[in-house]
Structure 1
Amino acid sequence: MKIQIEKVSSVDYPRLQQIWESAVLATHDFLQEDDFTEIQKQLIPAYFPQVTLYKAVFTKGREISGFLGVLENRIEMLFIDDPFRGQGIGKALLRFGIDQLRINELDVNEQNGQALAFYQHQGFEVIKRSELDGSGKPYPTLTLKLRASC
């Protein structure tokens, strides 16, 4: 199946919320339940309008399978619906961000080993570590930067 990357409109937000939930439940087992709920109900809906969002859709069926949120040169969010993981969608969104949007930096939770390995495999390297996440919660965060050769 062919993947297309398109800009998101606000009508897509409910589907993006579902994708976020599916992805986080599959990969963020370190999150406390209260923190998950706060992020899900308050933070994610507030973040959507603050970033430029792109969706990955399959040309057949037009189902949104993942999304990318960027701000300036940074990826602020990249989530893949759990049933679609491992099918090249994350790589397609990341390559789109690098090639078309010139992103070269992102943050990732240190405990999310799958995401860290994915980004490192795609040419990113750790440049900084913080004990707290962007909301001040005790989830160590790594800042990654794209190597110049990628």
Structure 2
Amino acid sequence: MSFEVDQVEVSEYPELVSVWEASVRATHDFLSQGDIEYFKPLILNQYLGLVKLACVRSKEEKAILGFIGIADQKVEMLFVHPKAMGRGIGKLLMKYAIENVEATKVDVNEDNMAAVGFYKHLGFEVKSRSEFDPMGKPYPILHMQLGR
């Protein structure tokens, strides 16, 4: 199966939320069901509209397998559907963000060790840590920056 980076239409936001939810359920075991339900409408109705979005689709099916949102050279969101994990989609999206949008920063949940390792593998380094996420919830955040 081959993949391509593509733009996202507003009409596809519900599909992005489906990818987000599947990804979060597979990777964010520290979140409760209530947390997921809390964030879901915020993702759909607020957060997606605040970032430059790109997605990876399968060339054959055109289904969105993963997406990235960037604002001010910072990756604000990167989610890959669990059925597509491990196929280079996250790396392809990060390459796009770094090369085309000049992204150099990312915040990641400290408890999402796979994501922390992924960003470190791509050359990001932890610059600081916050005890709470941006919503004030007790989920520590690592602030990472691309090493030069």
Which of the five TM-score ranges fits, normalised by the shorter chain?
Answer: over 0.9
Q: Which runs of 5+ in 2 are unaligned?
A: none
1:128 deviates by 0.5
- Report the more deviating stretch, 31-40 or 110-119: 31-40
Tell me what 1:70 maps to.
70
Superposition pairs for residues 25-104 of structure 1, below 5 Å?
25-41=25-41, 43-45=42-44, 46-104=46-104
Hey, what does 1:11 align to over in structure 2? 11
Cα offsets for 1:50-99 (capped at 9, x unmatched): 11110101111211100000001000000000100000000000011011
CA-to-partner distance for each residue in 1:80-120, whole Å, 9 max, x for gaps? 00100000000000011011110000100000000000000
Report the RMSD for the aligned CA atoms in angstroms. Answer: 0.8
2-side partners of 1:27 and 1:61: how far apart? 24
Q: Which amino acid aligns with 2:90?
A: G
Q: Secondary structure at the match of 1:5?
A: strand
Q: Which amino acid in structure 2 is aligned with residue 4 of structure 1?
A: E
- 2:53 alignment partner AA: L
Structure 1 segments (4+ residues) deviating >4 Å? none
Task: Give distance in 1, aligned partners of 2:19 and 2:92.
Answer: 16
Structure 2: how far apart are the matches of 1:2 and 1:102? 25
Identity %: 40
What amino acid is the match of 1:92?
L
Q: Distance in 1 between matches of 2:61 and 2:28?
A: 29
15-24 vs 54-63, greater mean Cα deviation: 54-63
Q: Which residue number in structure 1 is paired with residue 138 of structure 2? A: 138
